[in-house]
Amino acid sequence: MTHLFAPLTLRGVTLPNRIAVSPMCQYSGENGHVSDWHLIHYGARAAGGAGLILTEATAVTPQGRISPKDLGIWDDAHIEPLARIVRFIDQQGSVAGIQLAHAGRKASVAAPHENRPGTLGETEGGWPVVAPSAIPFDGGCALPCALSQEGIDDIIAAFVQAARRALLAGFRIAEVHAAHGYLLHQFLSPLSNQRTDRYGGSFENRTRLLRDIVSAVREVWPEHLPLFVRISATDWADGGWDLAQSLELVHGLKSLGVDLIDCSSGGNLASAKIPLGSGYQTAFSDKIRRETGLATGTVGMITSPAQADHIVRSGQADLVLLGRELLRDPHWPLRAARELGHLTPWPAQYTRAAPANTPAHLPATPYGTF
Ligand SMILES: Cc1cc2nc3c(=O)[nH]c(=O)nc-3n(C[C@H](O)[C@H](O)[C@H](O)COP(=O)(O)O)c2cc1C
């Protein structure tokens, strides 16, 4: 029976286990460039045994960053510093994936730990924000400018260029971020998209930008590499995006060559009431997986090894993404393997602390014994 430590093969890529680091902004970049923090942060979680490390939202244009400190991939100069991190992740036996993103009307805000709510003014390092329609996220946010057809075309092209650069950096999985109220989710939801052109109104029109981006990215993202899409399965609001529309969307994405739907929820409305609780989003992944036949990932308040293992064994998801629990404990996968009775490779440097018979990822270093 499939379990949390069974490998997962998607196209030509095999994840050594079903545990993924969920994308999490670190707000530690400079002009989109990674810093030492990112090498340590992602590196620690790869050494900790996660099968897949997905980067934080990595902006395809400077205006698409959530904050001035977000990572970006709009310039060829971003490639090599990202490649250094990818190489380290690969050396740990893990797989590196990148989340490609545009924040739309939720762009140009300060990092949460700076405690400065609302859109940043241009004198504070902010920039004008764009969206499907001129509807702000909430009262403290700037009125976005509705994108023109030319603006939409530029964003599609930016996703394609970003995917090309991600490939050069060595990433083996790309994830298009269409969740959490960022630009592509803004287009999906009738509550944030009130356009009257071919990108608004009907389901077909509201989903067009995401489908266009997925098709264009799939053309440059090689056949043997998997493509993920993260969606918010529901807005948790009347008249908004919901599970029925998500199911219809996923059927379409499957035929465009998407390999896994990363199922999250919410984020498009500041006023939404979300019933938070242990594994509160897993039912979305379960339903999408069963009804569309596409592989899914689940995320959201999953903290215990037994819970994560049960999700995979019971067929509710193919992949379990952990966010905050992996911030609390980068070695969660190694601990989970021990608790669940699996022998999973440890970094060679740590083998003297590992359970008996544990295989090592790297050849033993020539430091001798001491
Ligand atoms: C610090 C932080 C940063 C996040 N940044 C992103 C992001 O860049 N992209 C994204 O899709 N989700 C982001 N999220 C959401 C997480 O990926 C995840 O979906 C959420 O935290 C729920 O999972 P958890 O309960 O395991 O933390 C972030 C969450 C946290 C805590």
The gap between the terminal CA atoms of the chain, to the nearest Å, is 42
Q: What Rg value do the Cα atoms of the chain yield, rounded? A: 20
Tokens (6 digits) for 366: 């020539």
Higher pLDDT, 357 or 149: 149
> Does the beta carbon of 57 lie inside 6 Å of ligand 1?
yes
- Distance (angstroms) between ligand 1 centre and the Cα of 322 equals 8
Q: What is the atom index within ligand 1 of the atom nearest the CA of 57?
A: 8
User: Which residue segments constitute the domains of the chain, with CATH numbers given?
Assistant: 8-353 (3.20.20.70)
SS3 236: coil
User: How many other C-beta atoms can be found within 10 angstroms of the C-beta atom of residue 12?
Assistant: 11
CA distance 50 to 60: 26
Closest Cα to atom 5 of ligand 1? 24
> CB within 8 A of 215, min separation 6: which ones?
256
> Does the beta carbon of 299 lie inside 6 Å of ligand 1?
yes
pLDDT interval class at 362 (50, 70, 90) = low
Which parts of 246-359 are beta strand (E)?
260-264, 295-299, 319-322
> CB within 8 A of 103, min separation 6: which ones?
57, 59, 64, 65, 66, 70, 129, 182, 183
pLDDT in tens, 274-289: 999 999 999 999 999 9
pLDDT in tens, 293-314: 999 999 999 999 999 999 999 9
State pTM to two decimals. Answer: 0.97
> Does the beta carbon of 56 lie inside 6 Å of ligand 1?
yes
Is the per-residue pLDDT at 355 higher than 90? no
- Distance (angstroms) between ligand 1 centre and the Cα of 148 equals 30
Tokens (6 digits) for 69: 């400190």
CA distance 157 to 152: 9
CA distance 70 to 62: 9
Phi, psi values for residue 287, rounded to 5°: -65, -45
> Does the beta carbon of 300 lie inside 6 Å of ligand 1?
yes
- Distance (angstroms) between ligand 1 centre and the Cα of 198 equals 31
- The catalytic residue among 182, 199, 280, 367 is 182
pLDDT score of 363 = 53
pLDDT score of 366 = 45
Percent of the chain topping pLDDT 90: 93
> Does the beta carbon of 298 lie inside 6 Å of ligand 1?
no
Q: What is the atom index within ligand 1 of the atom nearest the CA of 230?
A: 11
pLDDT score of 357 = 84
pLDDT in tens, 234-244: 999 999 999 99
For the chain, what is the total number of helices (H) and then of strands (E)?
A: 11, 13
**Least confident window among 72-76, 216-220, 228-232, 340-344:** 340-344
- Distance (angstroms) between ligand 1 centre and the Cα of 359 equals 31
- Distance (angstroms) between ligand 1 centre and the Cα of 22 equals 6
pLDDT in tens, 132-183: 999 999 988 999 999 999 999 999 999 999 999 999 999 999 999 999 999 9
Closest Cα to atom 26 of ligand 1? 323
Q: What is the atom index within ligand 1 of the atom nearest the CA of 325?
A: 26
Percent of the chain topping pLDDT 70: 98
| Catalytic site includes residue 199 | no
pLDDT in tens, 48-97: 999 999 999 999 999 999 999 999 999 999 999 999 999 999 999 999 99
Q: What is the atom index within ligand 1 of the atom nearest the CA of 326?
A: 26
Helix (H), strand (E) at residue 42 = helix 36-47
19, 22, 282: residue to mutate for ligand 1 pocket, most atoms within 8 A of CB:
22
User: Residue 62: is it exposed, middle or buried by C-beta count within 10 angstroms (0-12/13-18/19+)?
Assistant: middle
Is the per-residue pLDDT at 368 higher than 80? no
